[in-house]
């Protein structure tokens, strides 16, 4: 997962990943620090769960994801973001969904807790960019909750690392 300057989000994510129902020896957590200027990389390294890779320069989330893909060896890659908190069954259910189908990727539900003080950008993210059902209907999956077979990367290549946003759509 890519991360930049989000130590609190990363702690919550790593806690959620350590609580997965899938046995810990069956998955690897790769954190790609996208040139953080705070304690984010230290937080990532303090976790016994994560393998941390420092991006050589600030490149954005898609470039960071590409670094993680290149560093991994799994047949299936599960993507999420540092500000996400996956359910305890996230990995188990995502892998099972992919195994039950002949699909190359599986996109799962994204729940965003919004309160009455949600910012305009949070509302736009929720309505447009993180609506997984809408994304699937348009032929792609949002990387906040996406499982992809490695064979896809071998066949079509990586995410467009030059993009700041919209890489999920372009990849799909």
- Mean pLDDT value of segment 73-100: 95
Answer whether residue 1 shows pLDDT above 90.
Answer: yes
pLDDT at 165: 84
Instruction: State the pTM of this model.
Output: 0.89
Containing 18, the helix (H) or strand (E) segment is helix 7-18
pLDDT band at 137 (very low <50, low <70, confident <90, very high): confident
Closest CA to 167 of 66, 96, 74: 66
Q: Are strands 76-79 and 50-54 parallel, antiparallel or unpaired?
A: unpaired
- Mean pLDDT value of segment 16-26: 96
Which residues pair with residue 149 across a beta bridge?
76
Task: Provide the strand spans (E) within the chain.
Answer: 2-3, 29-33, 50-54, 76-79, 105-107, 146-149
Which residue reads 């993210």 in tokens?
125
128 compared with 81, residue with greater pLDDT: 81
CA distance linking residue 99 with residue 15, whole number of Å: 26
Closest CA to 65 of 35, 31, 38, 18: 31
């Amino acid at each position: 997962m890519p991360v930049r300057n989000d130590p609190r989000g990363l702690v919550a994510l790593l806690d959620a990943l350590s609580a997965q129902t899938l046995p810990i020896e069956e998955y690897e957590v790769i954190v790609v620090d996208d040139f953080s200027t705070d304690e984010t990389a230290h937080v990532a390294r303090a976790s016994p769960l994560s393998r941390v890779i420092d991006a050589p320069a600030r490149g954005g989330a898609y470039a960071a994801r590409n670094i993680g893909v290149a560093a991994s060896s799994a047949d299936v890659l599960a993507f999420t973001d540092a500000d996400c908190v996956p359910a305890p069954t996230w990995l188990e259910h995502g892998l099972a969904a992919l195994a039950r189908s002949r699909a190359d990727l599986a996109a799962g539900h994204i729940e965003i807790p919004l309160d009455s003080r949600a910012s305009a950008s949070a509302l736009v993210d929720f309505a447009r960019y993180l609506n997984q059902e809408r994304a699937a209907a348009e032929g792609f999956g949002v990387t906040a909750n996406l499982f992809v077979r490695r064979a896809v990367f071998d066949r079509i290549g990586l995410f467009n690392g030059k993009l700041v946003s919209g890489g999920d759509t372009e990849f799909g």
